[in-house]
Structure 1
Amino acid sequence: MQHVKIPQDRIGVLIGEGGETMRRIEAEAEVRLDIDSENGSVAIETVGDPVRGLKGPEIVRAIGRGFAPEDALRLLANDMMLFDLVDIDAASRNKNDLQRQKGRLIGENGRTRELMEELSGASVVIYGSTLGIIGTPPEVDAARTAAEMLLDGAPHGAVYSFLEERHNEMKHQGMQYHRYPGGTAGEDA
């Protein structure tokens, strides 16, 4: 049994309309979820395949960090799918700097975040003080590196060039993209 704590405002997303999302996660990840909607604590118990069950806490964590349930469930697509978090707060000096850093990651009209997704192949969500990434190891690595470059103050143009280069490398190496059409979660600015 594992325990994950998620923000109050994400509990409804985890449960879904009439418990639909919760039941889908339980069925696909072969786990049982016990959600305490008072404090955001979620107990996750594996009830089937232990390998699939290991992804249960990651799926709950991903939804808690702003991903749409469909994107979080991509973690079950294959053993190579990863969920990673970049702590924006750790790269910020204060609350104003946190907002500035989030703005750099999101970009004008969300364009930087969109390019990060398009060129890395990973799903990227900015929520609260974190940037979440779901994808294969090379996709996650490209998105994480781009985010860290931006947080370290690199010009957007340099980051876009880096992403273009990585995109072309992955294409050249025959890396398959695991994006699902229209399956992009929003961000909380």
Structure 2
Amino acid sequence: MQHVKIPQDRIGVLIGEGGETMREIEERAEVRLDIDSESGSVKVETVGDPIVGLNGPDIVKAIGRGFAPEDALELLEDDLMMFDVVDLKAASRNKKDMRRKKGRLIGEDGRTRELMEELSGAAVVIYGSTLSIIGEPEQVDTVREAAEMILDGAPHGSVYSFLERRHNEMKQKGMEYHQFTG
């Protein structure tokens, strides 16, 4: 059994209309969720296949970090799929610096975040003080590296060039990677 804490404003998304999302997660991930909507604490208990159940906590965390339930459930689709979180607070000197860095990651009209998603094939969400990624290892590494470049102050142009290069490398390898459509 694992305990996961998610923001209170994401509890409703985790439960879904009439408990629909919660039931789907329980059924597909072979877990039981015990949600404390007061504290945002979620107990995730494996009730079926322990290997499938390992994804339960990450699915809950992904929804808590801003992913739509259908994107979070992609973690069950393929053994290679993984969930990763970049803590923006850790990369910032103070709140003002974090807001600036978060703005750089999102980009004008969300363009930078979109390009990270399009060129890596991963799903990317910026929520609160985190940037979260769902994808295959190479896709996640690409987004993480691009995000770190931005957080370190690299110009957007060089980050976009890096993303283009990685995109072309993955295509050349004939990587039949999972492309999010979210």
Aligned counterparts of 2:49 and 2:76: Cα–Cα separation in 1: 12
Aligned counterparts of 2:124 and 2:177: Cα–Cα separation in 1: 14
Question: For the aligned residues, what is the CA RMSD?
Answer: 0.7
Aligned to 1:53: 53
Aligned to 2:79: 79
Query: How do 1:40-189 and structure 2 match up within 5 A?
Result: 40-181=40-181, 183=182
Aligned counterparts of 1:175 and 1:42: Cα–Cα separation in 2: 36
Between 55-64 and 168-177, the greater mean CA deviation after superposition: 168-177
> Does structure 1 conserve the Cα–Cα contact (< 8 Å) formed by 2:121 and 2:180?
no
Aligned counterparts of 2:109 and 2:144: Cα–Cα separation in 1: 21
Runs ≥4 in structure 1, deviation > 3 angstroms?
none
TM-score using structure 1 length: 0.95
SS of the residue corresponding to residue 9 of structure 2 reads helix
Instruction: Say whether 1:2 aligns with 2:2.
Output: yes
Structure 2 unaligned spans of 5+ = none
Aligned counterparts of 1:103 and 1:54: Cα–Cα separation in 2: 33
Percentage of identical aligned residues: 77
Aligned counterparts of 1:72 and 1:179: Cα–Cα separation in 2: 14
> Does structure 1 conserve the Cα–Cα contact (< 8 Å) formed by 2:123 and 2:180?
no
Q: Which has the higher contact order (CA 8 A, sep 6+)?
A: 1
One-letter identity of the residue aligned with 1:130: T
Aligned to 1:22: 22
Aligned to 1:187: none
TM-score using structure 2 length: 0.98
Q: CA deviation at 1:178?
A: 1.3
Aligned counterparts of 1:64 and 1:180: Cα–Cα separation in 2: 19
SS of the residue corresponding to residue 119 of structure 2 reads helix
> Does structure 1 conserve the Cα–Cα contact (< 8 Å) formed by 2:35 and 2:41?
yes
Question: Matched residue pairs, number?
Answer: 182
